[in-house]
Every structure is written in C-alpha cells, then in structure tokens.
Amino acid sequence: MTDGQTVFILVQSHADVWDGAYSLSARTRVPACGDGVLDPGEECDDQNGNAGDGCAPGCTVELTEVEPNDTPPGNPWAYPFVGAIDPSNDTDLVSVSIPGSNYSMLVNTFDLGGGYCGQGKLDSFLVVYDGTFQSLASDDDSGDGLCASVSARTSPPAPTTCACRARRRPPRT
C-alpha cells in the first residue's frame, strides 16, 4: 500500500445460514524490525533490538549451531541455542551435559517470532537420547502448534551427556 491509497474491505457470508451482526476492526502500521510482527524481509522479530538472543537487531537469525551437526557429538548446548532445519531433510544433534542421576529435562522447539509453529510452517520432531544413544523420549507436536515439546528423565548411573535430535517431521499423508 502507498500513502493516501484507498483500499476496500469486502465482508460477506461464507454460507447462506451464516448471518448476523459483526464488528470489523482495521488498522494500519508502519512495518518495523523489533515490533513483534514478522514483516517481509525479516527472518525473525522478537520484539527487541538485543543481539545474542537468536534474533539480531536487524531481524536476521543468529545461529548457534555449526553444520554439519547430525552425528555425535553434535553441537554442545548453550543458551540461547538457535538452529535451523535447513534444508528440509536436515537433522540437528545437540549434546547436553547432565549434572547427575535422577534429573528431568524438558526440551522444546520454538519459532523466532514468526508464528511458524502455529501456522504449520515449522513442524519439528524431537528425540532425547541417553549417553549410549538409547531413546529416552520423543515428541512431534506437543508444543506450540506443530513445534515439539518432550520431557525426559535420566536414571542411575547418570549419563555424562544426553543428546537431543531435532529434525523436520516427514510430510503428513
């Protein structure tokens, strides 16, 4: 849209039986990096201008991961850990040091402010392995939208590391 341009909004019923009163809201805004809305040209928008939090002040993604990282030992986990499932058949392996036995770990994938999990554009799958690569837990869509959220518990003897593998979920059929 350009300054002074007139736009029109058409409101109509979806079916003959859907009628009644409604309220319409419309507003304009100037797109800006750091406003929490993912605009064209932005890779992320986390509502701030802070560097080092995964989304740079210029609304570009700050990756923590170093490719290739799909086989052991993977990337060591650090906060914040920001990765990308790119290309679509990518798998990311992250190693996490466990301080002792009988610990639980909650692992989540999130998008970077674009709403991609809720919109179905990011569909991650998580597996948490123990230090011998035995699966402790896995999840597909228990997080926000199609993002994954998994809880795993370590048991004695304590593994020195756990590995979390994130990958894109295969297409649904």
For 150-164, write each residue's pLDDT tens digit: 988 876 665 556 666
Is residue 131 over pLDDT 70?
yes
Q: Which residues pair with 104 in a beta bridge?
A: 153
Please enumerate in sequence order all residues whose Cβ is within 8 A of that of 51, keeping only pairs 6 or more positions apart, or say none. Answer: 57, 62
Is residue 167 over pLDDT 70?
no
15 domain residue, yes or no: yes
Q: Are residues 97 and 43 in the same domain?
A: no
pLDDT for the residue numbered 96: 87
Indicate the burial class of 111 (C-beta count within 10 angstroms; 0-12, 13-18, 19 or more): buried
pLDDT for the residue numbered 60: 92
Please enumerate in sequence order all residues whose Cβ is within 8 A of that of 170, keeping only pairs 6 or more positions apart, or say none. Answer: none
75 domain residue, yes or no: no
Is residue 170 over pLDDT 70?
no
69 domain residue, yes or no: no
138 domain residue, yes or no: yes
Q: Which residues pair with 168 in a beta bridge?
A: 124
Q: Are residues 157 and 92 in the same domain?
A: yes
160 domain residue, yes or no: yes
pLDDT for the residue numbered 14: 64
Domain range spanning residue 37?
Answer: 1-62
> Please, are residues 133 and 165 in contact by the beta-carbon 8 Å criterion?
no
Q: Are residues 46 and 118 in the same domain?
A: no
Is residue 33 over pLDDT 90?
yes
**Tens-digit pLDDT profile for residues 81-124:** 888 888 878 888 898 888 777 788 888 888 877 778 888 888 88
Indicate the burial class of 104 (C-beta count within 10 angstroms; 0-12, 13-18, 19 or more): exposed
Q: Are residues 95 and 158 in the same domain?
A: yes
Q: Are residues 164 and 104 in the same domain?
A: yes
**Model pTM score:** 0.71
77 domain residue, yes or no: no
**Tens-digit pLDDT profile for residues 34-91:** 998 888 899 888 889 899 888 999 999 999 899 888 888 888 888 888 888 888 788 8
> Please, are residues 93 and 68 in contact by the beta-carbon 8 Å criterion?
no
What domain count does the chain have?
A: 2
Mean pLDDT of 17-44: 84
Q: Are residues 98 and 43 in the same domain?
A: no
Per-residue pLDDT band at 134 (split at 50, 70, 90)? confident
73 domain residue, yes or no: no
131 domain residue, yes or no: yes
Cα angle, residue 53 at apex, residues 166 and 58 outer, rounded to 5°: 110
3-class DSSP assignment, residue 21: coil
Q: Are residues 151 and 93 in the same domain?
A: yes
Task: Report DSSP state, residue 1.
Answer: -
- As a whole number of angstroms, the longest Cα–Cα distance in the chain is 69
Across 3-18, b (16+ Cβ under 10 Å) vs e yields eeeeeeeeeeeeeeee
pLDDT for the residue numbered 98: 80
pLDDT for the residue numbered 162: 62
Question: Residue 94: which CATH number?
Answer: 2.60.120
